[in-house]
Structure 1
Amino acid sequence: MSQTLIQEVKTKFISVFAKEPLLVFSPGRINIIGEHTDYNGGFVFPAAVDKGIAAAIQKSDVDGCIAIALDLDSEIKFELDTLKPSKEGSWENYVFGVVAEIQNRNKIIGNFNIVFKGNIPSGAGMSSSAALENSVVFGLNELFELGLTKTEMILISQKAEHNYVGVKCGIMDQYASMFGIKNNALLLDCRTIESEAFEIDFKDHELMLINTNVKHSLSDSAYNDRRSACESVAELLNIETLREATEEDLEGIKDKVTPENYQKALYVIQEIERTQQAAKAIKENDLEKLGALIYGSHNGLQHQYKVSCVELDFLVDQAKKNKHVLGARMMGGGFGGCTINLIAKSESKAFAEAAAKAYKNKFKKECSVYFVALSEGTHLVK
């Protein structure tokens, strides 16, 4: 967690509103494996990281509310009783959505002001949106003593994204950001919304993210398309989600679905299995096995689910050429964002430089490299 970030929002809040705020830090997340399985009722394996969003929040004595996005240098005033989504793609929809969903639960909140700032690399697929939603709901719960549980809070955050942002996301991002545990990844069962924490000792390896710095415009529409494809296959199988399906079940309706949708559903069934295998590998301290499963995940995302892109595939191919990288894959919704790489610490600097150079030669643009540590979920900062 960045102390400077906390200090910045606190200083700004006091200078604008002349009041001591409550301070909340809400982390972004990575996902080790289990991509596009969450909205299929499957397993995912995320962890909160040491980058995120800091928010300063306090009750207001005057009419209306003010939200300030410090890193965007943007400010919005709004009334609690006339909330509606603003134009598509606006940051304030995350704030409005959370407030609206709290009110939908008949919880009473008063006027408030909030200042926030993040250090999650933009477009990296590390869920800055979930971190923002969680910081707002967590702060308001504290401020107005709403008595919401953490589980209720993440469902509010998820609904905000569905109804105000228009992305039908699963629950993983909000869950990992809220419930993260230092040095642990969470094997989350998205059907029961319960998780098991796995302490990970990466020994002489570490996690490195390489951001392609591209975001292809397909992402949101393709995400919703994939989701409806999975739902239609589940319906044909007469089950609630693909979590309940086996490869044999899918084989039985092969002639009723398009080859593309067959492959998408097959990917989901296999990825749910890979995610459970990954938990087992971590329990057994078998990083080689974990790495192989991570490579398998990328292969499925690239060839079956088709949510990768040439830039992501190029970076994963670079990783495969280096024996010090145990596993690499695209992370997040796809069509851009980051690869996650499990790499020997002693070699990470050399690999980062070589991959960045090759990437620049190939695409005439820079990629960015980050190292992340697994950290604590959304919390008050004393």
Structure 2
Amino acid sequence: MNISTQELAADHTERFGQQGTSFSAPARVNLIGEHTDYTGGFVLPLAIGFETTATISPRTDRKAVLYSSNFDEQVEYELDAMPQKGRGHWSDYGMGVVWSLAKDDIKTSGFNLSVEGNVPLGSGLSSSASVEVAVAMALLSLAETEIPGEKIATLCRRAENDFVGAPSGIMDQFVITNAVAEKALLLDCRSLEFYLLPLRPDIRIVIANSMVKHSIAEGAYRDRREEVEAGQAVLSKMNPQIKLLRDATMDDLKQARGRMSDASYRRCRHIITENARVLEARSALFGGDMRKLGDLLFAAHISMRDDFEASAPEVDKLVDLARSLPGCIGSRITGGGFGGCTVNLVEAQYADNFAEQLKLRYKDAAGIEAEIYVCEAVDGAVARAKAGE
């Protein structure tokens, strides 16, 4: 899944007439902990081998010139007349990072930037955060500035929330920046404390792309978040100790049920129980109990489907098919929902056959050619930069 940085560097030199420096950022998949990050909860993602590479070189003027090989388009902006909001264009993700860094007085000279990625768009694997983090690493290098990985993640999240206008939590940018190979990353989304958890070598992560696309910047994702926040506000009013939904228990929620809509109640129930599942998953990983972890994934999918109502018929079919195949330990929807991918825990000896059979059976059942990826946990952007990758 790796992009050839040598080819990208050569293309950048040919296009802009000078050599650039390249930085890469991976994609991510979330094992468990969906829609918990923006209410201060827990998530358990890992970085995977899809990636975005950003190649940067300085200019002598105050222009930002961005080229995307994926869209085969070049655009330019005046840094002294920066837009304050995105315009619904691919360059918003890069320029949003420029804008966010400037908010913290990290300013660059003019630059040429080439961007290429192979993260499937709209699949729930965080193509946008991958772009943001790769661009941030490139811009920080140009500005000769070093900041901690946690800060890089928060700056990139601000770019997506406030410049692009997508109401994402911190998880995507955080794991893409700070992941370590062969580990899952348990993140406390309130304190930003994180813990690296071991992944057993005899287990594979298989991602199945339903090919049903979604955009989290609009529509249903925003509605669900508003419903969550409305329920959270009711709980906080009843009990001032509940600052975020992460502080609430199911007993708290049951007591507040009559004061919120049924939709808010079910959205909050998903998040409260999902936080508990993440912490149980941590214990399962430390104990090597893959069967327990698999059961948690199946339960998380049911909660996303029924309480959060963020699945899709095609995704449900993928989970049902996966459950019936040899070697499957657990399966669930991953990402913001409303399409996208499933994440599957599979015994390594069955992984290739699992991927083949899942693709065939999904085509027969849904008439759609799924894309199936057998993945391993890889380094995030900071570890890659330190290794010179």
TM more than 0.5: yes
Of 344, 366, 371, the residue aligned with 1:368 is 371
Q: Is the 8 A contact 2:20 2:56 kept in 1?
A: yes
Partner of 1:101: 100
How many residues are paired up? 379
1:241 aligns with 2:244: yes
Q: State the shift of 1:166 in Å.
A: 1.1
1:223 aligns with 2:221: yes
1:269 aligns with 2:272: yes
Q: State the shift of 1:149 in Å.
A: 2.4
Q: State the shift of 1:218 in Å.
A: 7.7
Partner of 2:206: 208
Which has the larger displacement, 359-368 or 187-196? Answer: 359-368
Q: State the shift of 1:8 in Å.
A: 2.5
1:291 aligns with 2:289: no
User: How far apart in 1 are the matches of 2:279 and 2:372?
Assistant: 28
SS in 1 for 2:70: helix
User: How far apart in 2 are the matches of 1:158 and 1:135?
Assistant: 13
User: How far apart in 1 are the matches of 2:106 and 2:188?
Assistant: 28
1:347 aligns with 2:350: yes
Partner amino acid, structure 2, of 1:362 = A
Partner amino acid, structure 2, of 1:263 = R
Partner of 1:155: 154
Partner of 1:35: 34
Task: List 4+ stretches of structure 1 deviating above 6 A.
Answer: none
Q: State the shift of 1:22 in Å.
A: 1.4
Q: State the shift of 1:216 in Å.
A: 4.5
Q: State the shift of 1:63 in Å.
A: 4.2
SS in 1 for 2:26: strand
- Residue 201 and residue 143 in structure 1: after superposition, are their counterparts in 2 closer, same or farther (change >3 A)? same
SS in 2 for 1:292: helix
Q: Is the 8 A contact 2:129 2:156 kept in 1?
A: yes
Q: Deviations over 1:218-251 (max 9, x none)?
A: 8732212221211111211112211000000001
Q: State the shift of 1:323 in Å.
A: 4.5
Partner amino acid, structure 2, of 1:309 = A
SS in 2 for 1:347: helix
Partner amino acid, structure 1, of 2:288 = N
Partner amino acid, structure 2, of 1:230 = V
- Residue 140 and residue 337 in structure 1: after superposition, are their counterparts in 2 closer, same or farther (change >3 A)? same
Q: State the shift of 1:98 in Å.
A: 0.7
**1:9-158, aligned counterparts within 5 Å?**
9-84=8-83, 85-88=85-88, 90-158=89-157
Q: Is the 8 A contact 1:33 1:275 kept in 2?
A: yes
Q: State the shift of 1:108 in Å.
A: 2.5
TM-score with structure 2 setting the length: 0.94
SS in 1 for 2:153: helix
Q: Is the 8 A contact 2:47 2:175 kept in 1?
A: yes
Q: Deviations over 1:165-216 (max 9, x none)?
A: 211110000000000101001100001011000121142x211011011114
Q: Deviations over 1:89-108 (max 9, x none)?
A: x1100011111111112222
- Residue 195 and residue 206 in structure 1: after superposition, are their counterparts in 2 closer, same or farther (change >3 A)? same
Q: State the shift of 1:124 in Å.
A: 2.0
User: How far apart in 2 are the matches of 1:377 and 1:183?
Assistant: 11
Partner of 2:239: none
Partner amino acid, structure 1, of 2:97 = V
Partner amino acid, structure 2, of 1:266 = R
Partner of 1:260: 263
Partner amino acid, structure 2, of 1:274 = R
SS in 1 for 2:32: coil
Q: Unaligned regions of 5+ residues in structure 2, if any? A: 237-241
Partner amino acid, structure 2, of 1:87 = R
Partner amino acid, structure 2, of 1:164 = F
User: How far apart in 1 are the matches of 2:326 and 2:226?
Assistant: 39
**CA RMSD after TM alignment:** 1.6
